[in-house]
Amino acid sequence: MSDKEEPKFIRDNTITKEEFLSQFEDETIEITVQARYCWKKGSSPFPRFGKESLASFNYGVPWLNDPEGVVGEHGDVFWFTKKSMFGYPYKPEFKEGKIYRLRVRPSSFRAWASYRYFYLEEVLEKEVDLRGDSSLYTNALEDYYKNYETKTQEISVILRKDVDYSDMASGRPYGISHIARSFIVARYADSGKASMISGILEIPYDNKNFCSNLKLKLKAGKVIRILVRKSISDDSVNTYMLEKVLATDVKDDELKELQEYALTPTKWHIEGEDDFDIKDGEATGIILWDPEDSNTEVGVSLECDPDNMRTAILATEHFMKILGDKKAFEEAVYAVVADDTADDDGMIRTWEADWGDKEEEETILTKDAFKKRLGIISIMLSSDGSGSVLVSLDEMFTDHAYNVDIIADGVYEAHGLIG
């Protein structure tokens, strides 16, 4: 298969059925996959060709850890189907979450390395039960572990929420699930030092209990000593996977006192602004975007530093860059909103004529006219500089606001309407 060829999908009848089918190999293979998102009643069909439509379902294979294999990690299975004389359903029907054994023709192209496309020839077996195959769980566990360091380390933490697996069933019957619990103090065995640290403990589990965590109970507020592996992801700072519980209800008064200190509300000072309140890992406050206008209040939330829940030094550094050039910040954020909202002709069609008392108002705006009506509602920043901006749309889209993601300093991305 080539990973350079562009697939020609039937979206607007630009190719024939024969041309579409020519993109799939002549020889068939058997695959076993789990349906994820299925084309079903209520979904718009692909364009029709005569009396036929092209349907599909998206699949996953959570029990495998071979993205380069025959079925990859995810993919789509297509088939042509005829509408019955009574309308729906189209045949065959596939149920989300169920596993199927199929005879298919592989595509002659790949969109990307771990994604595959197949054309359905025959449904060999419906709702296959693979739970008796232990290799599925060992494969899934191996896939899960690859996101963490191979070496383990011993730490003591105080979880902020209970863990109770006594009556837990995995939401992924053929794979590994996990829950996450936060902690804000930890003692590392290698140094012996108690530290304030914003961290996450991920606790994996599965229906066959290969992770040995079913029936696990841990109480919030108690010191536990555990063996963990640290996440290797750059986006998961201070995230650990539970390998083994070594001891529960450990006596460690220093760690408990440190947590109580970390959770005690305090103030955070930013030059030129009223003091922010620090509570539960964030510094929050209100600023005047225009110091001369009392109607320009903006809510601000700054994540506390990963190693100290009573300071927000890192997030404040990023916030000061915004305050240093508010005009540039506004222009960049508003441009993202305008570009994402505009039609192909560059004009923005608001919903103002569709509601309230504004039936006579103009509903088609240029980008410049649109941007003049926008305003900043709130700003949220993490310690790494990422975050979000909530933008007021001045009731141009009923009572909705617009959310813009902050990817990094000066880098913004449209997230969409909210509210």
Cis peptide upstream of residue 204 (ω within 30 degrees of 0): no
Residue pair 228/146 in contact (Cβ under 8 Å)? The answer is no
- What confidence tens digit (pLDDT) does each residue in 245-281 have? 999 999 999 999 999 999 999 999 999 899 999 998 8
- Check residue 134 and give its pLDDT: 77
- Check residue 330 and give its pLDDT: 96
**Distance between CA atoms of 198 and 304, rounded to whole angstroms?**
8
- What confidence tens digit (pLDDT) does each residue in 51-88 have? 777 888 899 887 776 777 889 888 999 988 876 555 44
- Check residue 2 and give its pLDDT: 45
- Check residue 167 and give its pLDDT: 64
- Check residue 47 and give its pLDDT: 56
Say if pTM beats, i.e. exceeds, 0.85: no
Give the CA distances from residue 234 to residues 62, 237, 239, 270, 388, in Å, rounded to whole numbers and listed in that order: 23, 7, 10, 28, 19
Contacts of 275 (CB under 8 A, 6+ apart): 267, 268, 269, 285
- Check residue 153 and give its pLDDT: 97
- Check residue 90 and give its pLDDT: 57
- Check residue 168 and give its pLDDT: 65
All structural domains of the chain, each given as residue ranges with its CATH number in brackets, are 17-126 (2.40.50), 138-256 (2.40.50), 266-418 (no CATH)
Q: In the chain, which stretches have pLDDT less than 70?
A: 1-14, 39-50, 65, 83-90, 111, 167-174, 353-362
